[in-house]
Structure 1
Amino acid sequence: MSTLTTLIIVLAILMAIVGGETGIRSFFSVLINTILLILVAMLISWGINIPILILIFIPLKLVTIIYLGTHDYTVAKNSFYSSFLVCLIVSVIILAFQWMAQAAGLGPEAGEVLVGLSQMPGLSYPLIAVAVAIFSALGAIAEAAVAMSSGLLEIKKHNPEISRKNLMVSGNAIGNDVLGTSMNTILFGMFGSFLSLFLWYFRLHYSLGEVLNEKLFVNEALIILYSLIGVILTVPLSTFFLSRGMSDHNEVKNESRKSNTN
C-alpha cells in the first residue's frame, strides 16, 4: 500500500468520525472534484475548447463542493448563486489581468526538464493560464461561501425568529473572521508551495526586479490575488443571498402556519 493510499484512507476515516454523514459526503466531494480536475486536464490536452470547458466545469465543481458539503437545501442554493456570481466577476478580472501580465507559458526554470521535448504542444498557454487561475480561485470562493452558509445556518437554528437585518449583521461579523482566516490560508499555502523556489531565487542572487518579472512567481502571485478578491466579494454577497433566502423561507413557513390555523 502506497503512502498516498494510506493517507486517503486515514482522511476518509477521520472525516467519517468527526463529520459523520456530512464528513463522508465532503470526502466524496473531494474525490469527485479531483476526478473533475483530471478530466479537465485530459479534455484540454485533447484540444477541446478551453472557454467552453470553463463554463461547463465551474457550475459542476460548485455544485459538488456546496451541495455535498451542506445539508440544508436553502443555504446550499443561495451559496451556489453567490459563488457562481462571484466566479463570473472574478473570471472577467482574470481575463483582463492575465492579458496585461503576459506571464503565460513556461519559464526558464523548466528548460532542463523539457530538454528534447517540444514547448509548442498546439495549445493556447494564455487560455490554460486563465483556466488554472479560475479553478484555483474557485476553491477559495466555494470554501468561503460554505463557511458563511454554515455559520448563518447555526444562527438561524438557534434563533428562528431573527430578522433579516440582524441576520445580515451577524453574517458580516462571521464574514470578517472567514475573510481573515481565508487570507492567511491562501498566503501561507503560497509560501509553503513556493518555499523551494524562493530558496532558489536567494541562492542564485535574483534581484527584486528579476523575481517580480519571473513567470512562475507572477502566475502564482496573480492566482493568490484572484483568490483574495474572490473571497472578499463572496462575504457580502453570501451574506445578502443567504439572509434573504432564509428570511423568505421563514416568511413562507409563517404564512403557511397562519393559513392552516385559519
Structure 2
Amino acid sequence: MKLLSLTSAKKSSLKFTFLAMMLLVILLVNIADILPTYQQPIGKIIAIDESGVPNSNLSPFIDYKQNLTIKLLTEDSLYNTIYIENSFSYSQAFSNRYEVGQILILRKTTNSAEVTYDIVNIKRDSQMVSLLIIFAFLAVLIGGKQGAKSLASVLLNFGVVFLVMFLYRNNVSIYLLAPISVIIFIFTSMTLVTGFNKKTLAASLGTGIGLLFAIATAYFTFMFTGSHGVNYQEMDITISSPVELFYFQLVIGTLGAIMDIAVSIASSIEEMIGTSPDISRKNLMASGRKIGNDIMGTMTNTLILAYLSGSIPVILLMLKSGISLDYIMNVSLSLEILRGVIGSIGIVISIPITIVISIALLNKTHQKEAL
C-alpha cells in the first residue's frame, strides 16, 4: 500500500514538474517579443486614431484609414515612436484593422536620410509556439508514452511533407516521392505508436491496399474521362503539373483517414481475440464489419468536410457575387468533391481488407500461442 502511495506521489510530482516547465517555456517565448532577436523591426501599437471610421455598419465599398502610433521594441534608434497610416476594407481580405496592444512585424526602408516603416503583418509566432507547447503537454499528460510517440510521429510526418515539397520543387518526380513518403508515413505513424507487431502489420497492409485502390480509382477515372469535369483553376498559379499535385494531395489527405480506420479495426479484432479465445472466424468477421460500418460513416464525413471547408470563403464570395451554384460546383468544388469521393472509396475498400488480414494474422498467432 505504501509502495503504491509513493508511486502515485512520484507521478504527481513529475506532472507538476512538467507543468512548471511548460509554463516557464511559454513565459520565455512571450518575453522574447521584446528581445532584439528578430531580423525585422518589431513594434507595439500604443495608440490609434480612427476619427474617420464609424463605430458600426462599415461599408464594403469604402476603404477606411487608421493612424497608428507604434513604439519600436527591437531597435535602438532615435525613432523609438513612429506613426503609420493604415488603410483597411470591410472584408479585411488584404489588410487588417489593428487594435491597441497588438505587436507588429515591420519593414524598414532607408532612402538617403529618410527612414520609413511599413507593416508586414501581426506578430503571432509567440502565440503559435505557446499553443504548440500546450498541445505537446496535453498529449504527454493524457497519453503518457503513447502521447509522446504520437507527437513525435506528427512532427516527423510534418517534416516529411515539407521535404517532399522541397524535392518536388527541385524536379524530383512526384511518382517517386509519393510511394516513399507513404511508406515513411505508415512506418512512423503506426510503428512508433503501436510498435512493430502483427497488429501493426495488418493495419499497414490494409492501409496500403486501400490507398492503392483509391489511387487506381483516380487514375482510371482520368483515363476514361480525359479529366472532363475536373477544373484545376485553383492550381493555375503553380508551375507544376496539376494532375501530379492532385495525386499527391489525394495521397496525403486520404492516408490519415485510412490509417485511422485500419488501426481501429486491427486493434478491435486483437482485443476480441484476446478476451474471447474461442471466438469463431465468422463472429470475428461480423463484429469487424459492424465496427467498420460505424467508423466508415463518421470518417467519410470527416474526409469530405475537411476537403470542403477550405473552399467555404471562395464559395461565399461567389454566392454573394451572384454566381450560379452550377458554376461554383464546376470551378471551386470539382477537385474537393473528387478527392472526397475517391478518398471515401479507399476508406470503404480498406475496411474488409483490414478485417480479413487482421483475422488471418492475429487469430493464427493466438492459436499458436494457445498450443
Offset at residue 3 of structure 1 (A): 2.5
Aligned counterparts of 1:210 and 1:106: Cα–Cα separation in 2: 12
CA contact (8 A) 2:289 2:351 kept: yes
Q: Does 1:236 align with 2:356?
A: no
Larger relative contact order (CA 8 Å, sep ≥ 6): 1
- The match for 2:66 is none
Q: Does 1:166 align with 2:283?
A: yes
Offset at residue 75 of structure 1 (A): 0.6
If each structure's strand is expressed as a fraction of its own residues, which one has the higher value?
Answer: 2
Deviations 1:182-238 (A, max 9, x none): 122223323433221221121122213211220x42111111112211111111111
CA contact (8 A) 1:148 1:178 kept: no
- The match for 1:67 is 191
Aligned counterparts of 1:106 and 1:188: Cα–Cα separation in 2: 20
Count of paired positions? 244
- The match for 1:126 is 243
Offset at residue 181 of structure 1 (A): 1.5
Aligned counterparts of 1:104 and 1:43: Cα–Cα separation in 2: 26
Compute the TM-score of the two structures, normalised by the length of structure 1: 0.85
Question: After TM superposition, which residue ranges in structure 1, 4 or more long, deviate above 6 angstroms?
Answer: none
CA contact (8 A) 1:104 1:126 kept: no
1:37 is aligned, of 154, 161, 186, to 161
Matches within 5 A, 1:99-178: 100-101=226-227, 103=230, 105-107=232-234, 121=239, 123-178=240-295
Change (3 A) 1:179 1:79: same
CA contact (8 A) 2:231 2:330 kept: no
Aligned counterparts of 1:38 and 1:14: Cα–Cα separation in 2: 25
Aligned counterparts of 2:252 and 2:309: Cα–Cα separation in 1: 19
CA contact (8 A) 2:254 2:303 kept: no
Offset at residue 79 of structure 1 (A): 0.7
Paired AA for residue 360 in structure 2: R
- Please state whether the residue corresponding to 1:101 is helix, strand or coil: coil
CA contact (8 A) 2:150 2:193 kept: yes
Compute the TM-score of the two structures, normalised by the length of structure 2: 0.61
Change (3 A) 1:33 1:73: same
Bigger mean CA deviation after superposition, 184-193 or 39-48: 184-193
- Please state whether the residue corresponding to 2:255 is helix, strand or coil: helix
Bigger mean CA deviation after superposition, 148-157 or 239-248: 148-157
CA contact (8 A) 2:315 2:328 kept: no
Structure 2: gaps of 5 or more residues: 1-28, 30-125
Aligned counterparts of 1:147 and 1:4: Cα–Cα separation in 2: 31
Q: Percent identity?
A: 24
Aligned counterparts of 2:267 and 2:136: Cα–Cα separation in 1: 21
Structure 1: gaps of 5 or more residues: 256-262
Please report the RMSD computed on the Cα atoms of aligned residues, expressed in angstroms: 2.1
CA contact (8 A) 1:148 1:239 kept: yes
Aligned counterparts of 2:140 and 2:363: Cα–Cα separation in 1: 32
- The match for 2:74 is none
CA contact (8 A) 2:307 2:340 kept: yes
- The match for 2:179 is 55
Deviations 1:89-110 (A, max 9, x none): 1111122334533546444xx8
Offset at residue 175 of structure 1 (A): 0.5
- The match for 1:258 is none
